[in-house]
Structure 1
């Protein structure tokens, strides 16, 4: 039999959607062909934005559909990744190296754990890592970085001798709750009262809060959301990552995966939070508002997400990056993972030493924060 072919693919559109999704599965919305294609078609990722698509595909022969896909991008900066390597870049460049361009294996602008090696059951995921290493060497890229890797894919990266990095996020877990009050019942009395007070504050503001899905989300809703997204992006990142057309394309391609929680005042939408629906998880992504209402952020982004997860039997809510303030709202600290191939031996040694200390620090932080969760101590 012929050896499998590893190809560098310049766009998601060059791979049939059915073949891509046969590798990705259906559980994670960010791993789908539709999401990658919407990013590219909308111009949100491109050479101009510093995210040049450079996907890898493994085919059993020249004519066959891919049996493995690695969504990847050549980067000329480190923005929009949420696993920060600016210090590595600065140190390498001070030493006379060139850190950029690099290869980023991730879902752009999305700090959500998901598969990075999209493979059919009969395919070898290690071939994708060999391909990524070959791309780095052939194109003089300093490194390759796979971020927010699911734990079940870590052994493949470890076996390939990639460096493993630990981070932390805050996720909410559904312990067979039937209602939001069931969830509150698992909390300490003081924390339970705090959340009820916050929910009342949002409810008493005169706002009407709606959960919109699929075809119920109109273009006017995306126009409103774009205003919120631009404002939040300008304050957090300096400029928004996604273009306006991305939201329309996403709504056309994967409407069943979207949950838009909106707050309306006198018929006008004044705030909204966008979520993506996975097989067993709700992923909170973006939010914004043009009004100042106490606790509205908590209501739209956290409590409405918990309501939805309970009502639809989802196992957890991932609320994105940052946020120790999520701890008091029932979100628990978890370890996140990334893997890194460093071509330069000296830089690899320095990064490996840094990661050893960082992993210890992350483990200590998570242990401390687990003792600060709002759950009743008799619940463990």
Structure 2
């Protein structure tokens, strides 16, 4: 069956692509991925060259698909293989270009192999077989879901890598105080104090859906987002146009909380809501305010999830500081096929040591949770 490579997601009908999705998959939707391309956030100039993979049947029907990019670097992936690339450089082995199946700049687990398991497996096998003739060193599939893991586990040569994130779970809390009541006394007092200090400084918070924000408000959102990169001397991954286009195409999924001080906007947190989950994605502030990050990025999202009866709040990839605020360790998975046999053997040995270390870290992290009792 023919495997087809698309240089743009706009080369395939959105309904056909989305028909392969299972459940709430906001970041794999055609509209989200196409917005990344149409806004110039991904493309040749960014080092993310779209190379989406399709498997069609004998009658031309779409059987499987994978969002994919040819990469000349490893930035914006959140599965860190820079060490592998550096080892290749020292050994005179070409690591780039590589083929990556992932959502650009988005460390959120979800469906990466679109379509029935047998068709997705056939597409994977065809891609692996064609890597050498295309001059690609490897194929990587990042932040997979359970169904993807099952498909990849059945195939030889694939190496699994684990990492740890921190997610907050709503155990049917009536309100934020109900959540606080589940914590030990010291942590409960700490959170209450952090929130009360901000309330006493004239901060207010307002939530907005995508269609409720004006272009001037999107200017503010982008300014905050870009500032988090500028203060580190980096260029932001996303363009200003991305936010306007996404607000046009997926307004029902967008949730933005804007923090104001004495009536003046000073910070924001941008999220998507889909299914039973709130996905916190971007934060930014135009000044320095003690405790504002915790309130805007964490407590506001937790409170929103409780009020809207959402079961999970995924607030992003990093931060052990989330532990003491009730975010629990969750393992994530990625898979890697490396063509060079020596590199594959070396990385396999490294991962054999890394996986139990990550598992042990997650188990140890649970001991730092603030709950009095967690079932």
TM-score where L is the length of structure 1: 0.95
How many Å separate the matches in 1 of 2:232 and 2:121? 37
| Partner of residue 214, structure 2 | 218
Matches within 5 A, 1:175-324: 175-236=171-232, 238-324=234-320
* 2:96–2:137 CA contact under 8 A, matched in 1: yes
Matches within 5 A, 1:1-380: 4-61=1-58, 63-64=60-61, 66-119=62-115, 121=116, 124-161=119-156, 162-236=158-232, 238-377=234-373, 379-380=374-375
How many Å separate the matches in 2 of 1:304 and 1:62? 50
* 1:56–1:131 CA contact under 8 A, matched in 2: no
Structure 2 unmatched runs, 5+: none
Deviations 1:337-377 (A, max 9, x none): 00001011100000000001111111111111111100004
How many Å separate the matches in 1 of 2:201 and 2:56? 57
Q: Alignment RMSD, CA only?
A: 1.5
Question: Which moves more between the two structures, 195-204 or 338-347?
Answer: 195-204
CA shift for structure 1 position 237: 7.1
Question: Which moves more between the two structures, 269-278 or 124-133?
Answer: 124-133
Alignment size in residue pairs: 374
How many Å separate the matches in 2 of 1:256 and 1:322? 27
How many Å separate the matches in 2 of 1:358 and 1:145? 17
How many Å separate the matches in 2 of 1:83 and 1:203? 38
Deviations 1:285-307 (A, max 9, x none): 11011122221111111111111
Q: Structure 1 residues 157, 20: CA separation in 2 closer, same or farther (over 3 Å shift)?
A: same
* 1:170–1:318 CA contact under 8 A, matched in 2: yes
How many Å separate the matches in 2 of 1:155 and 1:237? 41
CA shift for structure 1 position 32: 0.3
Structure 1 unmatched runs, 5+: none
CA shift for structure 1 position 152: 2.9
TM-score where L is the length of structure 2: 0.96
Task: List structure 1 segments (4+ residues) > 2 angstroms apart after TM superposition.
Answer: 61-64, 121-124, 234-237, 265-268
How many Å separate the matches in 1 of 2:176 and 2:262? 27
